[in-house]
């Protein structure tokens, strides 16, 4: 559940890292802004219009996606492209700076409070194989799977996907072979941002609320998921996201029993980081990744 959201966000990290070697710290904020936009749309047209809930939500998604794609493109064009050849630390600090900027812009626009997502989606629980799930949860999982399938098709079956793969292998060489590298990188950011928008709406639907500060922790965890799966590896990000979701909920559920009540479920966030550290220390390539070659 949570895992599928992590996976969607992780995809954005992993695609950008795969091509630019950059941790796009601002990606979590894109998710947050997608979430905020969707809620605004849903609240505006949803109250009193009498349209059915799912239609209203779809409209929200429909507006959040292009908005986030634009934002992603803007990020790439304005902040990252001028630094393509700069030291990595410079790009990293810029990413952090953009993250701060977006977060605070969102705070100014939407305020400091939690804003809540109207209960438009089916939330009555169903019993499936002994577990209780709601309609929203089912939708989230189905949608995630569909999007991942589409992404894999895009990457492995289309010209654009081939160009993306070529660029991530070697931007210089891809450029020589006639690939418009700038365009590909821009596309990568836009696709990642579109997925982020969907994830943002899902989170809003899942928790029923959104907050200007939520992108940060979410981004960190999604990045963990990307690393867990093997950063730069698209299928790895999907797997890592799902795995992290499972580890977190299981861990939070059982930590009390494991430590004899010493540590409680409020240590849930520790799991993401503990997993991250263990993976990086013992298997830096992640679950599916190849070993990252030493940069000479």
For residue 9, what are the contacts with CB-CB under 8 A and spacing of at least 6?
A: 27, 28, 31, 195, 196, 199, 218, 219, 222, 225, 241
Q: Which is closer to other proteins, CB of 46 or CB of 232? A: 232
Q: Which is closer to other proteins, CB of 91 or CB of 140? A: 91
> Cβ of residue 165: shortest distance to other proteins, in angstroms?
21
Distances, alpha carbon 182 to alpha carbons 23, 67, 191, 215, 286, in Å: 18, 20, 14, 27, 28
Q: Which is closer to other proteins, CB of 157 or CB of 290? A: 290
How many CB atoms lie under 10 A from the CB of residue 103? 19
Please give the Cα distance from 116 to 211 (Å, whole number).
Answer: 9
* Tokens describing residue 35: 């979430």
Q: Which is closer to other proteins, CB of 62 or CB of 111? A: 111
Beta partners for residue 116, in sequence order: 209
> Cβ of residue 231: shortest distance to other proteins, in angstroms?
8
Binding site for other proteins (CB under 8 A): 21, 23, 79, 82-83, 86-94, 96-101, 103-105, 107-108, 216, 220, 223-224, 227, 261-264, 266-267, 269-270, 273-274, 276-277, 280-281, 284, 292, 294-296
For residue 57, what are the contacts with CB-CB under 8 A and spacing of at least 6?
A: 38, 42, 120, 121, 201, 205
> Cβ of residue 276: shortest distance to other proteins, in angstroms?
5
> Cβ of residue 103: shortest distance to other proteins, in angstroms?
8
> Cβ of residue 71: shortest distance to other proteins, in angstroms?
15
> Cβ of residue 137: shortest distance to other proteins, in angstroms?
27
* Tokens describing residue 281: 């220390």
Alpha helix (H) residue ranges in the chain: 2-20, 27-46, 53-74, 88-110, 135-157, 159-169, 171-176, 181-207, 214-229, 234-258, 268-282
198: left (phi over 0), alpha (psi -120 to 50) or beta: alpha
Q: Which is closer to other proteins, CB of 41 or CB of 255? A: 255
How many CB atoms lie under 10 A from the CB of residue 268? 14
Please give the Cα distance from 42 to 48 (Å, whole number).
Answer: 11
Q: Which is closer to other proteins, CB of 86 or CB of 145? A: 86
Q: Which is closer to other proteins, CB of 115 or CB of 139? A: 115
Q: Which is closer to other proteins, CB of 148 or CB of 218? A: 218
> Cβ of residue 236: shortest distance to other proteins, in angstroms?
15
First to last CA, the chain: 41
> Cβ of residue 279: shortest distance to other proteins, in angstroms?
9
């Amino acid at each position: 559940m949570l895992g599928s959201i992590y996976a969607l966000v992780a995809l954005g990290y992993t695609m950008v890292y795969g091509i630019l070697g950059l941790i796009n710290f601002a990606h979590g904020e894109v998710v947050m802004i997608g979430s905020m936009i969707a809620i605004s749309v849903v609240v505006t047209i949803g109250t009193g219009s009498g349209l059915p809930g799912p239609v209203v939500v779809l409209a929200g998604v429909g507006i959040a996606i292009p908005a986030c794609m634009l934002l992603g493109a803007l990020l790439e064009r304005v902040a990252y492209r001028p630094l393509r050849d700069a030291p990595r630390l410079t790009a990293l600090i810029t990413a952090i700076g953009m993250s701060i900027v977006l977060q605070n812009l969102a705070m100014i626009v939407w305020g400091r409070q939690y804003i809540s997502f109207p209960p438009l989606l089916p939330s009555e629980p169903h019993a499936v194989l002994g577990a209780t799930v709601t309609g929203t949860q089912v939708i989230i999982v189905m949608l995630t799977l569909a999007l991942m399938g589409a992404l894999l098709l895009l990457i492995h079956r289309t010209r654009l996907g081939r160009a993306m793969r070529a660029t991530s292998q070697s931007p210089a060489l891809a450029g020589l072979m006639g690939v418009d590298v700038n365009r590909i990188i821009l596309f990568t950011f836009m696709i990642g941002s579109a997925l982020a928008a969907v994830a943002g709406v899902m989170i809003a639907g899942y928790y029923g609320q959104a907050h200007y500060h939520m992108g940060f922790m979410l981004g960190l965890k999604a990045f963990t998921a990307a690393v867990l799966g093997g950063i730069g590896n698209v299928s790895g990000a999907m797997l890592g996201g799902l795995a992290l979701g499972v580890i977190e909920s299981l861990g939070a559920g059982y930590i009390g029993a494991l430590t004899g009540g010493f540590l409680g479920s409020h240590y849930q966030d520790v799991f993401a980081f503990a997993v991250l550290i263990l993976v990086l220390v013992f298997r830096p390539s992640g679950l599916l990744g190849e070993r990252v070659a030493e940069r000479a």
